[in-house]
Amino acid sequence: MEDIWGEATWGAESEIEDGDFVYVSEILRASNYLPEDSDIFLLLEKKQHFKGKDTSKESTLKRRLIFDTVTEILDRNRRLPPWKAVSWQTSLPEIWSEFRRIRERDQSEELFEVICGVLKKDLAGDSINGWGDCSIEMSDAVLDIERLIFKDLIGETIRDLAAFPSNYSKVSAPCRKLVF
């Protein structure tokens, strides 16, 4: 079990000294070995307590923020198509670089410049998915557009049929109520 959870199995020595990198690697290992319905954060916090690490409220909140960020990155990776999916062993460097990119702070004093910096980072594209390849979002958008066009066509057809006076209509079709 130690070979799975041991720090020697991951990355360069300089990154291992970074506590956040170690915690990100622990999150990855736990999320791959534990069932999804388990409270991974609580288990990791118990591990921190048993190791004798800092369990103050500030440290716990910082680890919670790291955990939520990594979980969001992992959820986004799980939605990738199978041909783009990466194994968990090769995903650590990618997830770490994505985490560092998200964690970077702009040194600006003005709120407007900070917001512009955040938008530039976001629009530059993430290292995992990229803006040019959003197949999941694209298929969802196409389905939404198809539904909207279909609803508009049905509504327009019903309005056109209702606009004709009933005395001009020689064939009376049965009326149905369309529910969308």
How is residue 86 annotated by DSSP?
-
How is residue 79 annotated by DSSP?
T
Name the token pair of 151: 């609803």
Q: What is the pLDDT of residue 152?
A: 94
Q: What is the pLDDT of residue 134?
A: 64
Q: What is the pLDDT of residue 153?
A: 94
Residue 107's nearest CA partner among 99, 117, 97 is 117
Q: What is the pLDDT of residue 3?
A: 44
pLDDT along the chain (180 residues), means of 10: 44 59 88 79 86 84 90 80 62 84 76 81 60 68 92 92 68 62
Q: What is the pLDDT of residue 47?
A: 86
Q: How many helices (H) and strands (E) does the chain have?
A: 8, 0
**At 43, which amino acid appears?**
L
Residue 70's nearest CA partner among 11, 131, 23 is 23
* C-alpha triplet 135, 29, 127: angle, nearest 5°: 35
